[in-house]
Structure 1
Amino acid sequence: MQRKRFDDMQCPIARSLDRVGEWWSILILRDAFYGLTRFDEFQKHLEIAPNILTRRLAGLVEEGLLEKVQYSERPPRYEYHLTARGRDFRPVLLALLQWGNSHFAPEGQSVILTDIETGKQAIPLMVDAETGKPITAATHIIAEGPAAGEKIRRHIAELVARRTGKPA
């Protein structure tokens, strides 16, 4: 069965999921943040079939989240390093970590984010880079951007109408 692509959608969430929406890809990125770089390291840590790992690594390289760097000529061996685009995925992983700890850890938190200086647990929070103000549903809404097409404009108008009770 062919997976649906979201390249033609203007939604940035759909386009992002097109790049990393498959769970193995997200776990590979997580392990890359943990410092893993080599095929055998990813395979051992994830317990993933080699053919699946090969496809997922190739996809992450193709999408520009990882770069493939040769470290041995005989035999040819490669490492996978996070690119700037890949490193920008870190806040998404930290948000997933916090969300998972809050809602899907009945036995307690097995992995936490800690402050290097104090050693204390840090709780990720999304804030506006301009104001430093926390972003919450009560203080921020989704709005159309300057490049929004007609479909996005209609969709946003419908969401605003639903929220305000006024017709679109």
Structure 2
Amino acid sequence: MRRKSFEDMPCSVAQFLEVAGEWWSMLVVRDAFLGVTRFDDFQSRLGISRNVLAQRLEHLTAHGVLERRPYQDNPVRYDYRLTDKGRAMWPVLNAMREWGDAWAAPDGPPLVVVHKACGHPVDTVTTCGHCGEPVGPGRVSAASGPGDPDRVLMPPGARAGG
């Protein structure tokens, strides 16, 4: 069953999901961040069928998240490397990891991300780009932006932060 496309929806979350919202996509991106680059390595680590993995890699490559680099000529085989667009998914992936650690890992985090400079675990902190103050639900508001000229995204009376 083919899911609905979000391609024409004027919403940045929907656009992200159009690229990376399929079940396996962020696990492929996770493994790419962990240094996995080859098809067989993705396949064996994820336990994903070869045809589904091929579709995910093709989709992520077509959307500029990964790039293919040949590493063998006969037959041609490729490494899959994160692009700048793919590396920009880091905060999303890290936030997903932290949510899973907090709400779905009763025995503790299965993976700890450590800051190389100081050796301590990394926590995602969202801050205001202007003043640097931490922000979160209840400390932000939302308004229609320039990408929503018809003001269709914000429901009447909507507020951000739950």
TM-score (norm 1): 0.89
The whole-number CA distance in structure 1 between the counterparts of 2:147 and 2:19 is: 21
Identity rate of aligned residues, in percent?
Answer: 38
1:88-123 deviation per Cα after TM superposition (whole angstroms, max 9, x unaligned): 000000001111111111111221221212222221
Residue 47 of structure 1 deviates from its aligned partner by 1.1
Q: Give the number of aligned pairs.
A: 160
Which shifted more, 114-123 or 77-86? Answer: 114-123
| Residues 10 and 149 in structure 1, CA contact (< 8 A), matched pair in contact too | no
Distance 1:147 1:12 in 2: 9
- In structure 2, stretches of 5+ residues that fail to align are none
Match of 1:28 in 2: 28
Ranges in structure 1 where 5+ consecutive residues have no aligned partner? 164-168
Alpha-carbon separation, structure 1, partners of 2:143 and 2:151: 13
What is the letter of the counterpart of residue 120 of structure 1? H
Give the aligned partner of residue 152 of structure 1: 152
Deviating beyond 3 angstroms after TM superposition, the runs of 4 or more aligned structure 1 residues are: none
**Aligned-pair CA distance for 1:147:** 2.6
Q: Rg bigger for which structure?
A: 1
Greater mean deviation of Cα atoms: 111-120 or 38-47? 111-120
Structure 2 contact 114–120 (Cα < 8 Å) conserved: yes
| Counterpart Cα distance in 1 of 2:29 and 2:89 | 8
Greater fraction of residues in helix = 1
Secondary structure of 1:122's aligned partner: coil
- Residue in 2 aligned with 1:99? 99
1:54 equivalent to 2:54? Answer yes
Once the two structures are superposed, residues 111-166 of structure 1 have per-residue CA deviations (whole angstroms, 9 ceiling, x without a partner) of: 1221212222221111122221112122212211023132526x343314xx9xxx
Counterpart for residue 116 of structure 2: 116
The answer to whether the aligner puts 1:80 opposite 2:84 as a matched pair is: no
C-alpha RMSD over aligned residues: 1.6
Identify the residue that residue 166 of structure 1 maps to in structure 2: none
Are the aligned partners of 2:71 and 2:79 in contact in 1 as well (CA < 8 Å)?
yes
SS of the aligned residue for 1:145 comes to coil
Distance 1:143 1:112 in 2: 36
